[in-house]
Amino acid sequence: MDIIRWDEAGRICDFKVMVRPLKAIHLLQQKMAAMLEQTKDQTKA
pLDDT of amino acid 45: 65
Closest by CA to 28, choosing from 17, 12, 41, is 17
- Domain total for the chain? 1
Model confidence pLDDT, tens digit, residues 4-18: 999 999 999 999 987
Which residue segment(s) compose the domain that 17 sits in? 2-44
Answer yes or no: is pLDDT of 3 > 70: yes
Beta bridge partner(s), residue 3: 16
Q: What are phi and psi of 25, to 5 degrees?
A: -65, -45
Does this model's pTM top 0.75? no
Determine contact, residues 18/4, Cβ cutoff 8 Å. no
